[in-house]
Structure 1
């Protein structure tokens, strides 16, 4: 199993102290956490993309470019790239440039994105967002693979023998499809033989497991190699302590503050108590053995080989945050790495002259 640390760069007061860092301080926290993730042995670091409050992750390529300059080994992820809002030509240019700067360490997780405000900002409607996402991905995919592209499009000017630069470093780049609530993204991933990344955060596991089951059905329907099917999954929170009692004691004020915020802004409350949150959500809060056991329970439902955890302190003190990540890497990750298989491909930075390192192949021989 592989492990990512991911941030959406939420910018709001600390849930325990109430202190709001400046925008610059918040970005510096992200960079410090990326360096720490590499230092501790995480396999990837991800940055989300949102275009509305309380997020300041509207430019993930810029943030990840800085992370690329500060790190050498860790893979860089987008979480997610909102292709339904973006021009696929411009997105290609940004990410191809970033992948060169990162020397082939970039993975994309794409999706339509969430939130009414950002959809309205880009004049995208609920009726067309899935079509936009699919069209943008199809154009993006062609641009990454072909030197000249012709595409008949609905949502941007058509392309005729278009050349877009720079040409890619990874040939092709790996693209995951973010999955939260809809079968459309699941079917798109299966159609192209791409890996699926289940959000697995807001609700109990059942709706996410149902979408993963559907992904497996569609993967088989499109005739892809069963051995190449790959699933990643998120988690709703992280605090690894020496004992379960210590974990609950430290995390309780964080949970209660978050619960109050959800009620204040009118968000639905799914888990009304900390005990319910720890038991029924994907949050990894407890002793190392409790977390190992919980990841195994989720693996039985999702079959995932990649797991993301929160990169941010999110109310923990700096010392608690570092201690939790250290304990995760020293006492949890080694057990799960041994007991749950890795994805079926090489994880190391790629040689652009060896495209097979990032390619899965369907029965028809199409590169995925």
Structure 2
């Protein structure tokens, strides 16, 4: 099993202290957490993409380029790249550049994104967001693979024998599809034979397990080898301590801070108590043995081989956060690495060979997702 540390770069008051860090300090904290993740032996570090309050993650290529310059081993993930909002040509240019600057350590997780404000900012509607996501991915995928591209997309100007630079280092780059509660991302991943990353943070296990089962069904429907279907999964929170009592006691102020914020917004919490949150959500809060057992319970439903934890302290003190991650890596990760296989592909970069021949195959005006059947 592989382990990622992921941040959405939330810029909000600390749920326990109420203190909000200045923007510059928040970015420095993100970089420090990336360095800590590499130091502790995490396999990947991910940065989300949001274009609305309270997030500072509007430019993951810039953040990840800075992380790339300061690290040497850890793989760099987007979580997610919101292709429904982006020009796929410009997105390709950014990430092909990052691919070189990182020495081929880039993985992409793509998705349509969430949030009304950012959708309105880019003039994307609920009716066209999924078609935009699918079309942008089709074009991005071709740009990465082909030296010249001719296409007549629906949502951006057509391309005629277009050459886009730089050519990437990895050919191809690995692209995961982020999935929350809708089937569209699942169907798109299965159609192209790409890995799936389940958000797995808001609800109990059942809806996520159902979507993963659907992914595997559609994967086989499209003729892919069932043994090569790959799933990653998120977690709703994390704190590993020597005993369950220590873990729950340390996390209680964090949970209560988040609960108060939800009530302030008029949002009905899915998990009304910390005990319910620990029991029914994907949060990993407890002793090393309890965390191991919970990951195994989820693995029985998901069959996932990649797991993400939160890179940010999120209300824990810096010392608590570091101690928790250190304990996870010393007492939890080795057991899960032994018990649960890695994804069936090389984790090291697949670097470019000779440039491919020019291709001018014209694609349909809209690369819409296939029927869910």
Tell me the TM-score range normalised by the shorter chain.
Answer: over 0.9
Query: Offset of 1:351 from its aligned partner?
Result: 3.0
**SS of 2:52 mapped into structure 1:** coil
1:105 matched to 2:101? The reply is no
Do the aligned partners of 1:84 and 1:130 also contact (CA within 8 Å) in 2? Answer: yes
TM-score w.r.t. length of structure 2 = 0.94
How far is the alpha carbon of 1:17 from its aligned partner? 1.1
Equivalent in the alignment of 1:137: 137
- Structure 2 residue runs without a partner (length 5+): 356-373
* Aligned counterparts of 2:248 and 2:310: Cα–Cα separation in 1: 17
In the TM superposition, what whole-angstrom CA distance separates every residue of 1:261-294 from its partner, at most 9, and x where no partner exists? 0111233310000000000000000000000000
- Residue 333 of structure 1 aligns to a residue in which SS? helix
Secondary structure at the aligned position of 1:197 is classed as strand
Counterpart residue number, 1:249: 249
CA contact (8 A) 1:180 1:199 kept: yes
Does the 8 Å contact 1:105/1:350 carry over to 2? Answer: no
Matching residue of 1:46: 46
Distance 1:263 1:18 in 2: 16
Cα distance between partner residues in 2 of 1:296 and 1:268: 29
Q: Secondary structure at the match of 2:295?
A: helix
What is the DSSP-based 3-state SS (H/G/I as helix, E as strand, rest coil) of the residue aligned with 2:307?
Answer: strand
Q: Distance in 2 between matches of 1:93 and 1:266?
A: 41
Contact 2:171 / 2:350 at 8 angstroms: preserved in 1? no
CA distance in 1: counterparts of 2:58 and 2:142, whole angstroms: 25
Is 1:68 the counterpart of 2:68 in the alignment? Answer: yes
Partner residue, 2:367? none
8 Å contact from structure 2 (residues 178, 198) kept in 1: yes
Paired residue secondary structure (1:89) = helix
Contact 2:84–2:136 (8 Å) recurs in 1: yes
Q: How does 1:69-218 map to 2 (within 5 A)?
A: 69-218=69-218
Q: Which residue of 1 aligns with 2:288?
A: 288
For 1:268 and 1:103, locate their aligned partners in 2 and report how far apart those are by CA, in whole Å: 45
343-352 or 8-17, which moves further after superposition? Answer: 343-352
Give, in angstroms, the shift of residue 176 of structure 1.
0.2
SS of 2:336's equivalent in the other structure is helix
- Measure, in 2, the Cα distance between the counterparts of 1:103 and 1:345: 18
Tell me how far apart the structure 2 counterparts of residues 206 and 242 of structure 1 sit (CA, whole Å): 29
- The alignment's C-alpha RMSD in Å is 1.0
What is the SS of the residue equivalent to 1:84? coil
State the number of aligned residues.
Answer: 355
Alpha-carbon distance, 1:352 to partner: 2.5
**TM-score normalised over the length of structure 1:** 0.95
Equivalents in 1 of 2:121, 2:151: separation in Å?
A: 26
Q: Does the 8 A contact of 1:104 with 1:352 survive in 2?
A: no
Question: Any idea what SS the aligned residue of 2:84 has?
Answer: helix
Contact 2:230–2:304, Cα closer than 8 Å, also in 1? yes
How far apart, in 2, do the equivalents of 1:190 and 1:139 lie? 17
- The equivalent of 2:337 in structure 1 is 337
Could you tell me whether the CA contact under 8 Å between 2:172 and 2:350 is conserved in 1? Answer: no
Match of 2:258 in 1: 258
Per-residue deviation, 1:346: 1.0
Unaligned runs of at least 5 residues, structure 1: 356-368
